[in-house]
Amino acid sequence: MKVLVVSGGYPSKKNPINHIFIHNQVKALQKRGIDISVLEIDVRSIRRKRKLGFFRDGFEGVTVYRMAIPCGPVPYLLPLLAKISVNYAFKKIVKTFGKPDILHAHFGEVAAWVIPIKLKYNIYLTVTEHFSKVMRMNRTKRVRLYSKKAYENADALIAVSNILRDNMRDLTNKNIVVVPNVLPTYFSFKNVKKSQNFTYMSVGNLNYGKRFDITIKAFSQINKKYPDTRLIIVGIGELEDELISLVCENNITEKTEFLGAIPNDKLPDIYSSCHCFVLPSMFETFGVVYAEAIACGIPVVATKCGGPEDFVNDSNGLIVPTDDLESVIGAMEYMYKNAKKYDGDKISVATLEKLNEERIGKSLVNIYENLFE
């Protein structure tokens, strides 16, 4: 069975955490014997410096075909240019990979770009939705239109969480299967010595939706009361300079460390060395970084923002309201006093039972095989 995964982003040597959740799923499918390659359609602004045009690449044993077209400032041209680019890239890919049996598009917008390929070559289309803007309170007219079109043309439709599935249901009458994101085997509990200072950790793209500003402001208050605390932030993004300035303004520069982009397989050692994970995100259709932290045995402070509600509970963390600084401060203080009460090994095992490579890979292969029945 040949599967071509199509996505708007995929990890590279330069940015190893870009859409890493898709790569983790691809690796799980590889391990189940699926002949799989990836087509990345990169439509970001020309200001995002990278190689343009079509070329073949690779990442951790996965063949990746990359098509980079700078559409950022002209979104009204994006659907047309993306479809032209997909068609051009697909013809190139068939020469080396062969005609795929299944197109697996991640995100509804990307699925809309590949519909002409599905129809022209009579290929099954599986769509996995991750996009937070599909959530009703965050949905735009444009998102509604391309999502409906993508779902109508999908032969199999997947949501990564229960709340996302519920939000998709008013856009389609088709059956929607929930298949969560996968955790690679290197995420697991390690009984290692923690840092002497109580250390909070946060991971994600440095954009507004992740609300690192709340994390920093909350930590500044915690650190005033408990000087033996530290904050580690992992990730890159457009708000990096602004967040560094915010750290300076709050006089916590010596207590806060920005680590930049860290390869996914290096994260477990960092998680394991910390005491608590914090991310007061506004919207998460899944929230893979919360799951990574729990799998490494540390409790989390999450927000009631969607996906985390599927797996964050009293045994492994706290869920607080979104956009609520005082609640985050209270949760971080609770963790300072009670983090040792969480059973790291137990919460790791419980999470990995639900999100391991074998289980998720098997679920996806079953979906693929059902297409041919």
Annotated domain spans of the chain: 2-182+356-371, 198-354
Q: What three-state secondary structure class fits 137?
A: helix
Q: CA nearest 325: which of 228, 238, 250?
A: 250
Contact between 364 and 179 (Cβ < 8 Å): yes
Q: What three-state secondary structure class fits 161?
A: coil
Per-residue model confidence (pLDDT) at position 267:
95
Q: Which residues contact 95 (CB under 8 A, 6 or more apart)?
A: none
Instruction: Give the pairing type, strands 53-59 and 156-159.
Output: unpaired
The residue length of the chain stands at 373
Q: Which residues contact 225 (CB under 8 A, 6 or more apart)?
A: 333
The label of the residue with tokens 């049996």 reads: 101
Q: CA nearest 293: which of 315, 262, 267, 318?
A: 267
Per-residue model confidence (pLDDT) at position 139:
84
Element (H, E) at 82: helix 78-97
Partnered with residue 103 across adjacent β-strands are: 4, 125
Which architecture characterizes domain 198-354 according to CATH? 3-Layer(aba) Sandwich (3.40)
Q: At what angle do helices 108-121 and 78-97 cross, to 10 degrees?
A: 50
pLDDT tens for the 373 residues of the chain, in order: 999 999 999 999 888 888 999 999 999 999 999 999 999 998 866 566 677 789 999 999 999 999 988 776 556 667 778 888 899 999 999 999 999 999 999 999 899 999 999 999 999 999 999 998 888 877 888 889 989 999 999 999 999 999 999 999 999 999 999 999 999 999 999 988 888 899 999 999 999 999 999 999 999 999 999 999 999 999 998 999 999 999 999 999 999 999 998 988 999 999 999 999 999 999 999 999 999 999 999 999 999 999 999 999 999 999 999 999 999 999 999 999 999 999 999 999 999 999 999 999 999 999 999 999 8
Per-residue model confidence (pLDDT) at position 69:
81
Q: Which amino acid appears at position 51 of this protein?
A: K
Contact between 165 and 136 (Cβ < 8 Å): no
Query: Hey, what CATH class is 2-182+356-371 in?
Result: alpha beta
Per-residue model confidence (pLDDT) at position 288:
94
Q: What torsion, rounded to 10 degrees, do the Cα atoms 344, 346, 351, 352 define?
A: 100
Per-residue model confidence (pLDDT) at position 138:
79
**CA dist 49 → 45, 68, 89, 294 (Å):** 9, 10, 20, 35
Positive or negative, the CA dihedral 163, 177, 136, 174 is: negative
Q: Which residues contact 343 (CB under 8 A, 6 or more apart)?
A: 315
Per-residue model confidence (pLDDT) at position 76:
63
Question: Chain-centre distance of CA 59, in angstroms?
Answer: 17
In 21-123, where do the E strands start and end?
A: 35-42, 53-59, 62-68, 102-106
Per-residue model confidence (pLDDT) at position 79:
74
